[in-house]
Amino acid sequence: MLIRILGAAAGGGFPQWNCNCRNCADVRAGKPGFRARTQCSLAVSANGTDWVLLNTAPDLRQQINDTPELGARRDGGLRNSPIKAAVLTGGDVDFIAGLLDLRELQPFAVYGSTRVLATLAANSVFNVLDASVVPRRALPLGSPIAIEGAEGDTGLVVEAFAVPGKIALYLESGAATENYGSREGDAIGLKVSAPATGKSFFYVPGCAVVDEELAARLKGAPLVFFDGTLYTDDEMIRQGLMKKTGQRMGHISISGSAGSIAAFEPLRVARKVYVHINNSNPVLDDNSPERRATEAAGWEVGTDGMEICL
């Protein structure tokens, strides 16, 4: 199984178009130790030719152009694509907007929870993906399903499972409702398996806390891509960027006693990679003490183009 990080940044990307925080200013200026990153997405292939996208970021067109394996094949038909399916883990703009780049009547399948499919159905702009060409299929929680392209099996099986988290910002129903109207399945993780080889990995780009259920699921895993949005819960407040904590946004922090480094410590996960990294996060500076601490704890900080073969 081949896994390619298409984008390792959180919503807004790195740098974010209107952001002049120190990280964004430094990456824009080309300062050594800073690398730009597009918004969060992975591509996975069981056979090296057919690919499944895990989320479709607003940067998808750039990501495809930066990844030769995902472009139309020279030896293929006049219109062709190795992208056979897209699996969505939530209704956030940075997870679904890239679907709009996949118009042009190219067959592939879209998988999402019933909540995410309802969001697509409620926004008529997504009808540019003709349902007779691009079927939308429900992704059940807790039961593995084979991911079928529009023209056959991809050789990958995905199990979606609910993780503690929050509904997409633009769907929030107000502070008066419990957790802003979030329901189970608004934040999900994926276990992706290739039955032919027996290999599997986890993709959890948004998660508020590693509870007992999630810890049990991830224990001993060979590879986990995990929510690296913030290093500390209040970093966006301290930097004057926003009035919200990470917890308010549904994201666990990397550091601290309640952070993901501490939570993963007893789980013996063989390879741990942070993705969905917000532009405020000091781990984006290759030379920061926070970056050193993160790597010393056995974590990798994801970059666009990073490829892992399982």
Site residues for Zn ion per CB under 5 A: 19, 21, 24, 279
CB of 123 to Zn ion, least distance (A): 27
CB of 273 to Zn ion, least distance (A): 22
How far apart CA 249 and CA 11 sit, in angstroms, is: 12
CB of 109 to Zn ion, least distance (A): 35
CB of 241 to Zn ion, least distance (A): 7
Q: List the structure tokens of 214.
A: 């999630």
CB of 120 to Zn ion, least distance (A): 29
- Give the single-character DSSP code of 101: G
Which H, E and C letters describe the chain, residue by residue? Answer: CEEEEEECECCCCECCCCCCCHHHHHHHCCCCCECCECECEEEEECCCCCEEEECCCCCHHHHHHCCHHHCCCCCCCCCCCCEEEEECCCCCHHHHHHHHHHCCCCCCEEEECHHHHHHHHHCHHHHHCCCCCCCEEECCECCCEEEEECCEEEEEEEEEEECCCCCCHHHCCCCCCHHHHCCCCCCEEEEEEECCCCEEEEEECCCCCCCHHHHHHHCCCCCEEEECCECCCCHHHHCCCCCCCCCCCCCCECCCCCCHHHHHHHHCCCCEEEECECCCCHHHECCCHHHHHHHHCCEEECCCCCEEEC
CB of 21 to Zn ion, least distance (A): 3
Instruction: Choose between 19 and 194: whose C-beta lies nearer to Zn ion.
Output: 19
Instruction: Choose between 90 and 282: whose C-beta lies nearer to Zn ion.
Output: 282
Instruction: Choose between 15 and 302: whose C-beta lies nearer to Zn ion.
Output: 15
Instruction: Choose between 21 and 150: whose C-beta lies nearer to Zn ion.
Output: 21
CB of 189 to Zn ion, least distance (A): 26
Q: List the structure tokens of 166.
A: 């929050």
Residue 164: HSE in the Cβ half-sphere, 13 Å Cα cutoff: 13
Instruction: Choose between 55 and 279: whose C-beta lies nearer to Zn ion.
Output: 279
Instruction: Choose between 16 and 62: whose C-beta lies nearer to Zn ion.
Output: 16
Instruction: Choose between 106 and 239: whose C-beta lies nearer to Zn ion.
Output: 239
Tell me if 189 sits within 8 A of 214, measured CB to CB: yes
CB of 258 to Zn ion, least distance (A): 24
Instruction: Choose between 21 and 162: whose C-beta lies nearer to Zn ion.
Output: 21
